[in-house]
Amino acid sequence: MMKLRLATPGHLIDIDPLADELGYIRVERHAEDAGEELRIGAMTRHRDLLSSELLARRMAIFTDAERVIADPVVRNRGTIGGALCQADPSEDLSAVCAAVGARLVIRGLEAERVLEMHEFHLRPYETAVGPAEMLIEIRVPLQQHQGSAYEKVDRRAGDWAVAAAGASMRLAAGRIEHAGIALAAVGAGITSTEAEQLLVGERPSDELLARAARVAADHTRPVTDQRGSAEYKHHVAGVLVERALRRAMARALGEDAVPEERA
């Protein structure tokens, strides 16, 4: 934020000593329904997300995204909490967390708050984290027959996205029980509720996924800039949503492994 001249704080506080306490990836039982929940500490570094066998096995969308985020220097020092709190419209992990229905835990001096992604992100570069508060944890529900995936087009490896899309899907009795779709770098809202609703309750098919992708793309509001024209970004958004949905479905069916890391 300081590099972009969007913040000029009078003082800086080094929170790196909290890295051991707030840097973790684990599964816990959800207190409300005894289901499993993935919990990621806000100071978990990108490199640890990328190397996590647990994420690759149970929530591969994080692994997908981390393989196309920034460069080794950033991945070795940057954290998931820092990425989410920057709230950049082109940021990858915000789309990832939105697609999988993550909840974010904010701790203040006297209490904690747990927010959905749409409550956490207020607008570009602004979150619900207030004075004397910090993001401490990301929580993601884990289910059987669940799959997720992330797709991105960038100008060069590790660059901000031209367009990107994340998708998650849970199947039950041959039908889509739950779907999540989120986009980055293409304007409009981070999630695509109408496209998600189109999928729920239906039997997955190529035609259905393509139709949902078109609906998601039609709700984007990209702008022409140095990364491409608005028309190009609109087209790419639809292609990426369809790809992410196909891979999420394949993973929910146990048919698709996490691909090898790109060079």
148: left (phi over 0), alpha (psi -120 to 50) or beta: beta
113-138 pLDDT, tens digit per residue, is 999 999 999 999 999 999 999 999 99
Assess contact for 154 and 230: CB atoms under 8 A.
no
pLDDT for 181 equals 98
Q: How far apart are CA 124 and CA 116, in angstroms?
A: 16
**What is the pLDDT at residue 262?**
46
DSSP-assigned letter for residue 260: P
Q: pLDDT tens across 167-192, in order?
A: 999 999 999 999 999 999 998 788 99
pLDDT band at 11 (very low <50, low <70, confident <90, very high): confident
Q: Average pLDDT, whole number, for the chain?
A: 92
Give me the residue spans of the domains in the chain.
16-142, 146-151+159-252
Spelled out in words, what is the top-level CATH class assigned to the domain 16-142? alpha beta
Q: How many angstroms separate the CA atoms of 241 and 51, rounded?
A: 25
**Assigned CATH topology for domain 146-151+159-252:** Enolase-like; domain 1 (3.30.390)
Given a cut of 80, whether residue 158 has pLDDT beyond it is: no
Determine what percent of the chain is predicted with pLDDT higher than 90: 80
What is the spatial distance between Cα 19 and Cα 170, in angstroms, rounded to a whole number? 33
